[in-house]
Chains A and B, each alone.
Chain A
C-alpha cells in the first residue's frame, strides 16, 4: 500500500521526464536529504565524521565517476585511484602556486586536469575492448603513481615525497588543513557531492546518457545507427575522470590531510570499483549504497566485538575483517549481481504488486 504507483498519472511528457516522477521516491529523497544536511551533522561525533560520513560521501563521488565510465559507457577502468591522484596533485599544485585561489574553485578546477589525463588514456579504448581495455587504465594507474613518486615538482620537492594539505580558508573559515573542523569539511563535501550528483543524473538520463548506454550495450550497433563512438567514449572518459578527480581532491583536502603517492595505488582503485559494482553498475543511487556498505562495514566490524565486550586480538580481527569483506562481496554478488540498486528496484517492484506474489 505504501508504495502504490497506480493513480499517479502524467499528463505531459515534461512531467513524465521529471527527476522523480513517483511521489514516494521524491519523499524518500527528501528524508535522505534532511538526514544528510541536518540530522547527521547535529548528532555525529568527530569519529563518525572522520571514519564514516565524510569518507562515504567522497567514495560515493569517486564511484559515481567510475560508474559513468564503466556502468554507463561500459568501459572497464582499473585506474580510478590514479585519476583521483591527478585531481589531488593538481589541487595541491594550484593552491600552493596560487595561494589566493578560493579552495572550492581549486577543487572544482582540479577535475579538469584529471579529465585531460583521462581522455588521454581513454584514446586506446577506441581500439581495445573489454578486459583488454583494463590494460590501458592499469598502465595509467601504474605510470601515474610512479610519476607522483618521481616528479618532485608535484610535491614541491618535499623531503618525504608526500603532499601535506595547507590550511586554507574561505572568508576566515578554515576549510582544509589541520585547522579546519570536521563539520565544515563535511558540509563542503556534501555540497559538492550533491551538486555533481545532480549534474550526473541529468547527464545520464539525457541524450548523452543514452549515447553512453548504447555504446555500452552494443557498440557496433551504436555506431551503425549514427553514434560517433569516439566522441561517446571520450566524453565518458572526460566526465568520469572529472568527477573522479574532484573526488580525489576532496579525498586529500577534505579528509586525509596528507597523501603519499602510494595512497593512489591499485587498492584504492579496487575499493572504488567494489563500491560501484556492489552498488550496481549503471546506477546513481547504487554508488551511495555501495559506499555505505564498503566504507561502513569494516568500521562496524571493528566496533562490534568491542561493543559486545569480546576481546579479539586486533590482528586476528583484521584478518577476520578481510575475510568477511571478501565473503560479503561474493555474497552480495550472488544474491544480486546487479548490485544493491537492483535489489532496491526488486523490492520496489514487489512493493508495487504487494500483497500479490507476482
Chain B
C-alpha cells in the first residue's frame, strides 16, 4: 500500500495536504499527530470513504481505481472506527458474523428455505467466528446486544468484526482510546498476535505514545494535514518538529 501525494479538501478546509507514505506488507504502521491533523481522514481515504481531490492510492503495486467503500473492503481492507460504529441492535455474535458476510454466498431463496447450502454455510462461518471470539476472549458476551456493553468491550467486538473478514490490511482508528492500562495491555497483545499469527498488515492511529512506540515498526507523524515525520519510533521520538507539535515536553 502506498499513498502518493494525497490532498483532501472539505469545502475550504484542507484536511490533508500533499502527503505520501507507504505501508509495507506485514508491518505495524502507526499514524500519529495532534487532534484534527487529518489522521482519521487519511484512514477514510485508504478505505475509500473519502475520495482525495489529488493523489493516488496504490494497492498491491498498482494504482487503485476509484471505488465504492464496500469494494475496497472486499479487496481485503478491514477497519475499526474512532467513534464506535457497531450495529447496536444486534448481538455480539451477529455483529461479528456481519464481518464474514463477504464469505457467504447462499442466494436469497436458499436462505429463505434455510435447508442445505444456507445452513451449512451458516455453521461453517459460525465456527470461524467462534475462533475469533475465543481469540479475543469475548465468549461470555456472545449473545448480549452490543448496545449494553461498556466501551472497552465494544472496541474489542469491533476488532473481532474486522478480523472476521480476514483482511490483509487492518486499519485501526484509536483502538485504545478510553481504556485503562490493563485493557490497553490486552488490546496490545491482540494486535501483536494478529500481526504475528495471521501476518496481517496493520495501520494504527493512537494517542498513547507508550503503545505507539512499543508496538509499531514505523511511524508517520501528521500535523494539520502535513507530514512532519516518518520513521522508526526511535527516530520519530527524537524529531524536534514532532516534539513541538505533538509530544510536548515528555514527562515520566
Contact = CB atoms under 8 A, between A and B. Distances in A.
- Tell me the interface secondary structure of chain B in the complex: helix
A127 interface: no
Contacts of B112: 199-200, 202-203
B111 A206 contact: yes
A324 B7 CA distance: 60
Given A206-B106, A223-B69, A216 B89 contact: yes
A206 B113 contact: no
B151 interface: no
Interface in B118-142: 118-119, 121-123, 126-127, 130
A224 B49 contact: yes
A210 B70 CA distance: 16
B70 A217 contact: no
Interface in A213-261: 213-214, 216-218, 220-229, 235, 239
A228 B70 contact: yes
Contacts of B81: 221, 224
B114 interface: yes
Given A203-B112, A210-B90, A225-B99, A220 B85 contact: yes
Contact of B122 (A206, A220, A223): A206
A187 B203 CA distance: 60
Contact of B49 (A213, A217, A220): A220
B108 interface: yes
A133 B114 CA distance: 32
Contacts of B79: 224-225
A235 B49 contact: no
Contact of B118 (A206, A211, A224): A206
A292 to B, nearest CB: 24
A13 B126 contact: yes
A10 B137 CA distance: 20
A213 B88 CA distance: 9
A13 B130 contact: yes
Given A17-B126, A202-B113, A235-B108, A227 B101 contact: yes
Interface centre among B88, B99, B112, B130 (most CB of A within 10 A): B112
B88 A207 contact: no
A87 to B, nearest CB: 18
A227 B111 contact: no
A218 B87 CA distance: 6
A210 B98 contact: yes
Nearest to A235: B108
Contacts of A225: 70, 73, 78-79, 98-99, 161-162, 165
B68 interface: yes
A118 interface: no
A210 B48 CA distance: 23
Contacts of A226: 70, 73-74, 101-102, 165
Contacts of A282: 89
Contacts of A297: none
B94 interface: yes
Contacts of B6: none
Given A221-B87, A223-B68, A225-B162, A13 B123 contact: yes
A214 B161 CA distance: 12
A218 B121 CA distance: 25
A306 interface: no
Interface in B50-95: 68-70, 73-74, 78-79, 81, 85-90, 94
Contacts of B114: 202, 206
A13 B127 contact: yes
B97 interface: yes
Contacts of B98: 210-211, 213-214, 222, 225, 227
B119 A14 contact: yes
Given A14-B119, A225-B162, A207 B104 contact: yes
B201 interface: no
B47 interface: yes
A208 interface: yes
Contacts of A227: 70, 98, 101
A337 B196 CA distance: 46
Contact of B89 (A200, A207, A213, A229): A213
Nearest to B126: A13
A251 B12 CA distance: 56
Nearest to A227: B70
A235 B119 CA distance: 20
A203 B112 CA distance: 5
Nearest to A282: B89
Contacts of B68: 223, 228
Given A202-B113, A218-B86, A224-B73, 18 more contacts: A12-B123, A13-B123, A13-B130, A14-B119, A17-B123, A202-B111, A213-B87, A213-B98, A214-B87, A214-B98, A220-B49, A224-B49, A224-B69, A225-B162, A227-B70, A227-B101, A229-B70, A239-B108
Interface of A: 12-14, 17, 199-200, 202-203, 206-208, 210-211, 213-214, 216-218, 220-229, 235, 239, 282
13 contacts: A12-B123, A13-B126, A17-B123, A202-B113, A207-B111, A210-B90, A218-B87, A223-B69, A224-B81, A225-B161, A225-B162, A225-B165, A226-B74
When A and B form their complex, which 4 residue pairs have the shortest distance between CB atoms, in order from nearest? A226-B73, A221-B85, A217-B87, A199-B112
